Structures are given as structure tokens and as C-alpha cells.
Structure 1
Amino acid sequence: MDHWTSLLASTDLHLDGDIITSAKASADVVRARDGDIMVPLTHLGLIDAVGDDATVFLHNLFSNDVKKLGRDAAHWTSFNSPKGRMLASMLLWHGEAGYRLALSADLHPAMLKKLSMYVLRSKVKLSDGRSTRALIGLSSMMLSERLGAARLPVPAAPLRTSTRDGLAVIRLDTRRAIIDVPVERLAEVWGALAAIDVAPATTLAWQWLDVQAGIPMVTQQTQDDFVAQMLNYELIGGVNFQKGCYPGQEIVARTQYLGKLKKRMYRLTAPASATPAAGDELYAPAFENQSVGKLVTVVPSPNGGFEALAVLQMQAADAGEIHLRATDGPKLRVATLPYALEVAPREA
């Protein structure tokens, strides 16, 4: 992370472990809602996969179809346990000589080690991409114009990439992109964005945008807890049901086609007094003392209080009365997501 030190020195941001923080973090969330921000995505770890067998190797391990990933495309994918539970959620795109994937930084060392155990005789090399690359998150309602003004590549559509001179831009949606930049060009790109009045912001600001987009991230608090559909992963394009086997594939397919899904991910709001945290259990009166779900991502709301992504029993979400940490705990409210919850048939 040394390459971020000098850049952050001229801002009120600082690095706390893998998280970019600030005394004005709440103001950054407001800025994320209303303006243009750039965020050091230090909460993401990077793994590079190169070699003749890299495509087949990743295809056989992940939930999405790596063989069909175009050179100018990116997709969400996951690595699962044999029981179909997500061990990591990832964004995958093409690097200069192979593939690059981003996942939660707190899972990065263990996942790099675990994936390396599958290499065996395959002609593929996995390495820590953070030593040579850095990620900047850019958010703007005029995303294409901002990228163009900073002389950066402009992807044509969401989940498309554009590359030039060893630098890649991965467009996530209508307002957000990830800039994948060599560390030796980090100051140049950061400065180009600052020159067009894009403001530096914290990790919380980027995570608030994730919550608005309904994009989950598996972290240590939620690892091995959820099947992909519980995190709406097939709804955001993170699962391909036509590809061949991968760890946990049978469970994921059975959940999709046999109607065993009873939980989905929802967006919730909480009052300021609630002090929720990722991993907290949720309760509903009809289920008495049995947990009905768990918080996945929690961020301050620009409107006050908190917003969160949470996996919930669908029956509890339909009833609309959700409480934090106990049946008499603070009440949370179900809010909308930007996509429809096209649920599989519920278990009888």
C-alpha cells in the first residue's frame, strides 16, 4: 500500500489496514450521492492468473463462464465450498497477459493460497496483483464525460472494459467504473481526476454505492454463509447455469431448479441509534428467537441512520417487521433494490 501514502498526504483520507477512512466519512457518503468521487479501492485484493491453462483453470473453479468472457468484458463470479456456500465474491476481467480478479482484501491471502492448491500440473501461475497494480473507483452521473476529460479509456457499456497503454477501465454500471492502473502511473491518473474536480472519498462512500446497486461482497464476517442465490448473485449475472461442473455447482443448480430458495438479499434502512454491523443477526416476531437473516454490508446513510444489504427469510421480509440482534431490538425497514427479485419457487 506504500504507493498510496504520498497521494493521501494531501487529503484528509488515511489508510487504516485495508480501509480508507476520514473524520468526514459521513460527508463523503453525501458526496457519493450528489457528486463525483474517486476512491482508493484498498479494501479489494487482486489476484492475477496467467499461463496457457488460465482460462480452463478459472472456468473449472468459478460459478461463471470464463470461456465466454470477451476481451472487452468483465463479470461477477464466485468461488464456492463443496456445499455451495460462497467463499468469495469476485469481479473478473482480462489483464495484460491473463486474468485479474478483485475480491475482499480480508479474504485475499487465504484465497490466493487456496486457489493455488488447485494448480497442480496446470500451466497457470497465480500471484498477488497488488504489488504492481492499484484500483481507483470513480463515480459520477456523467461517467463517460469524466473519463474522457481525464484522458482515460471509456468502456461502451456496463460490465465492459476498455484498455490503453497498460491501463484498463472496467465500467460497473451507469455511474461507476474501476480504473486498473500500474502503480507507477497511479499519481498521474489520480492527478488527472483531481484536475477535473473529482473529490477523494473513503471506502464507506464506495460501499454505499455498492448498497444502492445491490452488489454484495463476501467478507470474513459472511464467508461460507450463503448460496449464490441468497445474495442475488444470479440476478447480477454472477452465475452461469449452462456451464460445466465447479465446486458447489450441484447445490447451486438444485437451488435454482428445484425451488429450495427461502432467503434473498434485501436492502434495509436502520435508525442512527441502531449501530448495526456486518454479520449481525436479524429477527422477526413470527420466527420468535430463531434468526431470520444476517447483515452483509452496513454503511451510513446520507439521509441519517444506516443502510444495509442483508440476507433474509423471504417470509420475514414480506411481513416487513425486522429487528436487529433480538426480537425486541431496533426495527429495520425493507427498502428497494435497483433490480427485481425474480425469486425461484419457494420450498413448500
Structure 2
Amino acid sequence: MIVASRISEKIIQISGQDRKSYLHGQVTQDLNLLDDTTFLWSGHCNAKGKLWSVHKLIAANDAYLMLASNIEAEQSFSELKKYGVFSKVEFALSEQLISLGVTAQTTSEIESALAISFTSHNLVQFELGYALKLAEGLVQLVIKKEKQAELEGKITLTNNENAWLAANIKVGLPRLNAETLDEFVPQMVNLQAIGGISFNKGCYTGQETVARMKYLGKNKRAMYSLFAAEQHIETASDVEVQLGENWRRAGKVINTAVTDEGTYIQAVLPNDTSEQAQLRVKDLEESRLSVSALPYTLED
């Protein structure tokens, strides 16, 4: 069954004569790689290299679209506007566009339902808007609000965003929450592993820290996908690891998705955490977190 749900994301529109040069100096990604068939994962950092947002970028005619969770988009929007006053660039939080998350067993099922084809690309522009292939069977739509009704009969629309979030967690796609803004450098949430950092593009805000993490091997943390049978695990909870007979703090939960079978969790932990590690949530002593294999390598 093909299911779509409204995603709690906002879309920043970046336009104006200097939009490319300005945004290029703000994000971790090389905007020269954007085209009609490609969206890019990217990060927006403060001067210390700590993330304000993890987002997706689309080149849309005379503007760029930056897609991020509500809290991340609001933070990036505020920071982009703050320094954009010195350039010919304009920013707006779109009121016309919405994001829908579509899941199915295979991408081909979604392609058939929407009459689109990704071939070897990850972005398709079609009559309703944009379709972004995030992973196998995982497609995000960016469409105008009034176009949503045209999806009825093609896919099943639901209000269950947790299923979409769980699918993203399973394949290791990062998303920050209010408690973790300004806390992690991009490599700590695996942004390099999903192609979200260009190490050749030149200067951008926070670049020195990001480069140091890569070339000097300074990064000691990474994002892991975990699962727990419990359904009451909060974001920003501490994760503990068992060492002998004792438990020690290992990291922090940054995202959760509660489903019927349990809770899917993203947590930032030491980057040498093994799949056999014994983990639990602090203050939930009976909880046990299992480590899931990621579909990519954590190497830069």
C-alpha cells in the first residue's frame, strides 16, 4: 500500500540577484551541483560549525527551496535573514507549498502511482510539484496546497507522520530537535555519509570546524538508528551503555518515532559503538535499545 502523510516541515524560499553567492557561503553543500534532476542534502552551521539545520535543497526556477523540520527551518530562516541584509537576496517561509511523505515497499510503486520516473536521478518535477527520492520506497513531495486533492485515488493520505519519521530513522536520515540545535557538527549526525558536505567548495560559515573534523580525525561521535520495545522515550533523553556491571552515559536521543511495534530512535553516540552494545535510556532502567545497521558507511 502506498501511504502519504503531511510532514512537519517548512520550506524557505531564497530569491534575489545574489541568492547563489550568498547561500553558497552559508551552507555545507556546493550549489553548483544542483540541477533540474538533483536535490542535495546540506547543513547550515553557526560560526563554530554547530548545526542550525539539516535540510534538503532544490533549485526552483528563480529561487532555491530549503526544506527542513519546523524548528530547523525557523532557526535557519532567522539566521539567513540576519546576514542577508548585506546582499541582494530575499527570504520567505512559503505559505503555498507543503511537504508530503510517501512510503511504499518499492520506489517503482510510487513512480507508477504518480506517473513519474526517477531513472538515475533523485528529483523529478511533475504537474503537482517536486518529488524527491530519499531512499528506496521513501519519496517526499513538495506541492502547492491546492494540488493535494489531486493525489486522492493515487495514494492513501493519512495523518500518521510517525510512520514517515520511522522510515527516515531506519535509513539514517538526520533531523534535529529544539534541544539539539547548536550542539552537533555535521559529521556527528552523519551528514557526510549522505552526501551533505562538500569538502572542495571553498569557504562557508563553520567550515574550519567541519574540515578539522575530517582531516585531523577530531570527530568521535556519530548518529545511530536504534529500536526499543518501549513507547515512552523522549527526545533529548540520555543513552547509557553497559560497561561490565556498570552503566555509563554514552550519548543523547535526538529524534523518536513511536509505532505499533515500538519506538524508532536516532541517537548520537561514540562513533565506535558496535551493533552488540548493550544500551538503555537513562531513568528507564528496564529499557533496552538495539542498534540497527545503517545503509551507509560512517567514513568521510
After TM superposition, the score normalised by the length of structure 2 is 0.90
Q: 1:243 to 1:329 in 2, by over 3 A?
A: farther
Residue in 2 that maps onto 1:281: 238
The secondary structure found in structure 2 opposite 1:235 is: helix
Unmatched segments (≥5 aa) in structure 2: none
Letter in 2 for 1:237: G
1:154 touches 1:169 (CA, 8 Å); kept in 2? Answer: no
Q: What is the rounded CA distance, in whole Å, between the counterparts of 1:47 and 1:231 in structure 2?
A: 22
Out of 122, 125, 128, the position equivalent to 1:163 is 125
Instruction: State the 1:102 CA deviation.
Output: 0.8
Question: 1:38 aligns to what?
Answer: 4
Moved more, 116-125 or 205-214: 116-125
Length, aligned pairs only: 299
Deviations 1:141-161 (A, max 9, x none): 34334334334x433345x22
AA partner of residue 2 (structure 2): D
1:1-80 alignment to 2 at 5 Å?
A: 35-41=1-7, 43-80=8-45
Which residue, 190, 193, 204 being the options, matches 1:232? Answer: 190
Q: What is the CA-CA distance between 1:63 and the residue it aligns to?
A: 0.5
Deviations 1:142-181 (A, max 9, x none): 4334334334x433345x2222346222222221222211
Shift of 1:284: 2.2
| SS of residue paired to 2:148 | helix
In structure 2, the partner of 1:181 is: 143
For residues 156 and 69 of structure 1, the distance between their equivalents in structure 2, rounded to whole angstroms, comes to 17
Q: Distance in 2 between matches of 1:279 and 1:227?
A: 17
| Partner of residue 74 from structure 2, selected from 86, 103, 109 | 109
Check conservation: 1:283, 1:327, Cα contact below 8 A. Answer: no
Deviation at 1:329, TM superposition (A): 5.7
Provide the residue aligned with 1:300 in structure 2: 258
Structure 2 equivalent of residue 125 of structure 1: 90
Q: CA distance change for structure 1 residues 53 and 317 in 2, over 3 Å: closer, same or farther? A: same
Coordinate RMSD, CA, aligned = 2.3
Counterpart residue number, 1:13? none
Q: 1:39 to 1:163 in 2, by over 3 A?
A: same
Which residue matches 1:216?
Answer: 174
Question: Deviation string for 1:207-235 (max 9, x for gaps)?
Answer: 01101111010121221121111111100
8 A contact 1:266–1:335 mirrored in 2: yes
Q: Is the 8 A contact 1:283 1:326 kept in 2?
A: no
- The 3 A distance-change label for structure 1 pair 326 and 142 is closer
| One-letter amino acid of the counterpart of residue 147, structure 1 | E
User: Using the alignment, how far apart are the partners of 1:145 and 1:260 within structure 2?
Assistant: 43
Asked whether the equivalents of residues 55 and 68 of structure 2 are also in contact (C-alpha less than 8 Å), the reply is: yes
1:321 Cα deviation (Å)?
1.9
Indicate if the aligned counterparts of 1:80 and 1:247 stay in contact, CA closer than 8 A: yes
Q: 2:208 aligns with which of 250, 257, 261?
A: 250
Counterpart of 2:292? 335
- Give the fraction of aligned pairs with identical amino acids, expressed as a percent: 24
Distance, in Å, in 2 between the alignment partners of 1:106 and 1:203 is: 16
Q: Paired residue for 2:108?
A: 144
For 1:167 and 1:197, how far apart are their aligned partners in 2? 16
The whole-number CA distance in structure 1 between the counterparts of 2:248 and 2:210 is 25
Aligned to 1:322: 279
Q: Secondary structure at the match of 1:216?
A: coil
In structure 2, relative to structure 1, the CA distance for the partners of 1:262 and 1:166 (3 Å cut) is: same
The ranges of structure 1 where at least 4 consecutive aligned residues each deviate by more than 6 angstroms after the TM superposition are: none
AA of the residue aligned to 2:133: R
Q: 1:221 to 1:104 in 2, by over 3 A?
A: same
The 2-side partners of 1:93 and 1:222 are apart by: 25
Per-residue deviation at 1:317?
A: 4.2
Paired amino acid for 2:6? P
Partners of 2:47 and 2:149 lie apart in 1 by: 43
Structure 2 SS opposite 1:311: strand
- Structure 1 letter corresponding to 2:108: S
Question: Which structure has greater strand proportion?
Answer: 2
